Amino acid sequence: MSYAKAQSKNVVWDWLTTVDHKKVGILYLAGGAFFFALGGIEAVLMRIQLMFPDMAIVQAQTFNELLTMHGTTMIFLAAMPLLFGFMNFIIPLQIGARDVAFPFLNALGFWLFFFGGLLLYVSLFTGGAPDAGWTAYVPLSSNSPGQGLDYYVLGLQVSGLGTLIGGINFLVTIINMRAPGMSMMRMPLFTWSSFVASMLILFAFPALTIGLLLLMLERLFGATYFAVDFGGNIIIWQHLFWIFGHPEVYILILPAFGIFSEVIPTFAKKRLFGYSAMVFATLIIGFLGFMVWAHHMFTVGMGPVANAIFAVATMAIAVPTGIKIFNWLLTLWGGRIQFTTANLFALGFIPSFVMGGVTGVMLATSAANYQFHDTYFVVAHFHYVIIGGVVFGLFAAAFYWWPKMFGYRLSETLGKWFFWLFLIGFHMTFFVQHFLGLMGMPRRVASFLPGQGLDAMNFISTIGAFLMSIAFIILLIAIFASTKNRDNVQDPWDGRTLEWTVPTPVPEYNFAQTPLVRDLDPYWYEKHEGDGKIKAAEPLGEIHMPNATVLPVTISAGLIVASFGFIYHVLPLIIGGFIITFGAMFVRSIKEDHGYHIPVDVIKRDKEEGK
Amino acid sequence: MSSHEDPSAPLQGAPSKNTERKLKNETRTQLISFLLMIFITSMAFISIGSDAVPNGFAIPFILMLAGVQVVLQLYFFMHMNEKGTGWINVMIWSGLFVAALTVGALMFLIGEVKY
């Protein structure tokens, strides 16, 4: 493909076939936001059902489906893809690379995630969504009637494949594609934490893949791994799920930690306190993340020694996390703090997340866990860490990087309304749930009886959920109402890292010349020690770019066709789907695809136009 | 332009003295490790076939031999001992560690025996 041909494409075809990390990142954000909205609607429906005792807005069966879809959606289809969106867009810019290591796989990862998510949602229209909770414990899941759980298994299998591909891609990118001078210990913290999160993806997702495979064989082909009457063992599922599931929550929170470590120094006008301690704390959290999965299973009956070991290991995680919290506080200490929306989310995160961390240590106390297990206390805890940590991080990242990504600044006025409403709504929803849990309200119940002292707090919780929904609508309004703020978008926050050195909108090749990195926070260093411009590490030359391709969509679509074949036992569909997938992979393997070059004069012209 | 060179193109000209020596050394290492692996594999077969190892120890014994062989394979046949393989070492060993943890957990924590 020539340069001219690569430039002339219609919009839809361009987005379907793109392999540009920036466009894939925006696709991830759009896909993640779509599923985030769906998951939010499910949450609000559940809160309305629990607003008053004995409500009958939804049936108990529907409630089970809502809670399952809410959990599954928020973890796999909203939080992770939204983080992947920012990682995709920002990491290559932060390390001074022109793209990720495998642009083709990057696009493939997105389409697998998106089609997997859609497959999961098709179940709503085919007689019942999955209803066994996001953890899908056997035998509840293996004996669940209908096709709901089959959609769960295959949808997650396909989207999990996409996540695994994305994780490997980030690992290879960060190891191999750093600009000259960007040593590992000069990498921005967001890149570091995404790197560790990608390692966790690489090692944790295989356990989920195996678990889902066993469940699929059990449900679709009558295998007996979990069937006790055939000598199977149901605990295997719980172990496999949590060996994946616990690292999964660190996969979510570590990139969010990275975002705060970018936002706080920028708006405190100080370099990050204890950079190397932050890096090692991230690594230690990643390592300990694999040591603690059985704290989700204290009440299974593993025995006192096993429980004690996992309890102690879990509490140990409070140490590196505490190091991080103190480093953020000390970064703020004596800084010139700007209360922008992005920074407000970072500042709101610190106390909110600490509260979630404290209840985490309470839950880790294995003896007390018998009291807390499966109550609203657990619900309150994990919403405090996931909303107070991950979602606040996503919103901070959105306000922080929005100018670079979309070429306009989100309105600060609407942003502050959004932040305060969301913060108040969040604490209102979940703070009271601690006490609901301590009073004995079990999680996942479709209704509760009056006169048990649960009425008032459930009502407060629901009102809080409404506030969060209003806040989210304000965010949507801000996104559409702020498009006129097109001034000062190249470096609006007086940034420190390389992504603020490239023009906005970012040219498809990112850097006309690969940058030379001379210190941690390279842009800040050049602003104060140099001439304010990043030095180039190479002469201006032609830039080699990958071709756009429709094969990622084709490969993913084939897997979806095959999944329908598996769910409904239609052999031709299975074969047809695999022919599409493997045919597309075959074409990819044998077709020579050398990409194209952007000529020097185009790059020079861009530079003169200040693009 | 130099940026258009194909990195996978065959090398031109004869190898230098230094490269030749390196290649010779590598050939020797590969041969020795190959013989070692054949020895280990036959040890596994012979020890079980001839009942030389007591029954209770047979499975740990073969697993031990297998472990040694995996490490030799990784380091000599798959070149994990060379320079510039730091990250590969980190990743492989982390992966093995997590896998061992998983297998260990499934062996010890799902049975009737409580710990």
ipTM of the complex: 0.80
Task: List pLDDT tens digits, range A512-543.
Answer: 999 999 999 999 999 999 888 999 999 999 99
User: How confident is the model at residue B2, as a pLDDT?
Assistant: 47
Q: Do A199 and B94 touch (CB under 8 A)?
A: yes
Q: How far apart are CA A111 and CA A31, in angstroms?
A: 10
What residues of chain A lie within 8 A of the CB of B1, using their CB?
541-542
How far is C-alpha A585 from the geometric centre of its chain's CA atoms?
Answer: 27
Instruction: Return the structure tokens found at A571.
Output: 């052999």
Average pLDDT score over residue span A295-300: 93
Task: List pLDDT tens digits, range A110-165.
Answer: 999 999 999 999 999 998 899 999 999 999 999 998 899 999 999 999 999 999 99
Q: How far apart are CA A338 and CA A269, in angstroms?
A: 9
Q: State the smallest CA–CA distance between residue A231 and chain B in angstroms.
A: 12
User: How confident is the model at residue B55, as a pLDDT?
Assistant: 79
**Which pLDDT band, with edges at 50, 70 and 90, does A1 fall under?**
low
Least confident range from A3-7, A347-351, B36-40: namely: A3-7
Longest CA span, chain A = 77
Q: Do A303 and B115 touch (CB under 8 A)?
A: yes
What residues of chain B lie within 8 A of the CB of A290, using their CB?
97-98, 101
Q: How far apart are CA A235 and CA A225, in angstroms?
A: 10
Task: List pLDDT tens digits, range A17-58.
Answer: 999 999 999 999 999 999 999 999 999 999 999 999 999 899
- Helix (H, G, I), strand (E, B), or coil: what is residue B42? helix
- Closest Cα to residue B3, out of A558, A268, A148, A542? A542
**Which pLDDT band, with edges at 50, 70 and 90, does B113 fall under?**
confident
Give the residue from chain A lying closest to B86, CA to CA. A175
- Helix (H, G, I), strand (E, B), or coil: what is residue A433? helix
User: How confident is the model at residue B6, as a pLDDT?
Assistant: 67
- Closest Cα to residue A545, out of A12, A18, A13, A14? A18
Q: State the smallest CA–CA distance between residue B104 and chain A in angstroms.
A: 11
**Which pLDDT band, with edges at 50, 70 and 90, does B56 fall under?**
confident
Select from A236, A291, A304 the Cβ nearest to the Cβ of B106: A236
Residue ranges per structural domain of chain A: 3-549+593-608
What residues of chain B lie within 8 A of the CB of A207, using their CB?
102
How many CA atoms are closer than 13 Å to the CA of A389, on its beta-carbon side?
A: 24
- Closest Cα to residue A310, out of A326, A289, A281, A327? A289
Three-state helix/strand/coil letters over A334-368 = CCCCCCCHHHHHHHHHHHHHHHHHHHHHHHHCHHH
**Which pLDDT band, with edges at 50, 70 and 90, does B84 fall under?**
confident
Residue predicted with more confidence, A10 or A242 = A242
Beta bridge partners of A545: A596
**Which pLDDT band, with edges at 50, 70 and 90, does B77 fall under?**
confident
| Alpha-carbon dihedral sign for residues B31, B34, B36, B42 | negative
User: How confident is the model at residue B1, as a pLDDT?
Assistant: 41
Which CATH architecture describes the domain A3-549+593-608?
Answer: Up-down Bundle (1.20)
Residue ranges per structural domain of chain B: 18-81, 83-115
Q: Do B91 and A301 touch (CB under 8 A)?
A: no
Three-state helix/strand/coil letters over A104-171 = HHHHHHHHHHHHHHHHHHHHHHCCCCCCCCCCCCCCCCCCCCCCHHHHHHHHHHHHHHHHHHHHHHHH
User: How confident is the model at residue A369, as a pLDDT?
Assistant: 94
Q: State the smallest CA–CA distance between residue B108 and chain A in angstroms.
A: 9
| Element spanning A545, H or E | strand A543-545
What residues of chain B lie within 8 A of the CB of A203, using their CB?
94-95, 98
Q: Do B109 and A305 touch (CB under 8 A)?
A: no
Instruction: Return the structure tokens found at B87.
Output: 């990250």
